[in-house]
Amino acid sequence: MEKLILAIDIQNEYISEGRPFFIPGIKASLEKIKTIFSVARENGTPIWHMQHKQKGSVFNETSELANFIKDFEPLADEKFFVKDMYSCFSSKDFLVALTEFKPEEIIIVGYGSSMCCLCTIIDGIHRGFQFVMIDDATAAKNTDHAESKIMHESAINILKQYARVINSDELIINSILNARKNNDK
């Protein structure tokens, strides 16, 4: 089964306190993503990176705040794409690459669960793609009506209708077991 990990918007805006997209408590999800990247790279699972860039005060294309978080940048052999709207499908290059690759599942990690991850999954379902959301390898920002934890939990509950939702431990165990099974053949 061909899978890929789609790392959405792992960018400095989310770790910069005082910024509109700052996510309190983001470190826990970043640690999970770091582990997922390590296991994926060991097992040869492709990691594709999405970067949000736009004009304006957030994710500004000329700002360092739009850069990938240190140690989460794409490696030389990993694909990366740029989008300017919430859904990753707003990147034409991403859609072309995805259509050529034809993954059976797209595994989602990154930010924010209540915005870009949600939009990408719903947009992708309409295009015939299947998704797995890693609930502890993502998070949401605070909003005027709810703190980040509540926003994240709400997004995950909505996403359960559109994607298989698992945690990083389940993903890693499945990845290791699949790698062993493939090595035994």
Q: Which has the higher per-residue pLDDT, 125 or 1?
A: 125
Give the domain extent around 174. 3-184
Angle of CA points 130, 121, 74, to nearest 5°: 90
Range in 66-70, 146-150, 173-177 with the lowest mean pLDDT: 173-177
CA distance 67 to 174: 31
CA distance 161 to 138: 17
Domain count, the chain: 1
Q: 176-182: long-range contacts at Cβ-Cβ below 8 A with a sequence spacing of 24 or more?
A: 176/39, 176/43, 178/1, 178/43, 179/42, 179/43
Q: In the predicted model, is pLDDT for residue 176 greater than 80? A: no
Q: Which helix (H) or strand (E) holds 137?
A: strand 131-139
Residue 81, domain CATH: 3.40.50.850
pLDDT (tens digit per residue) in 27-83: 999 999 999 999 999 999 999 999 999 999 999 999 999 999 999 999 999 999 999
CA distance 74 to 40: 13
pLDDT (tens digit per residue) in 77-136: 999 999 999 999 999 999 999 999 999 999 999 999 999 999 999 999 999 999 999 999
pLDDT value, residue 180: 67
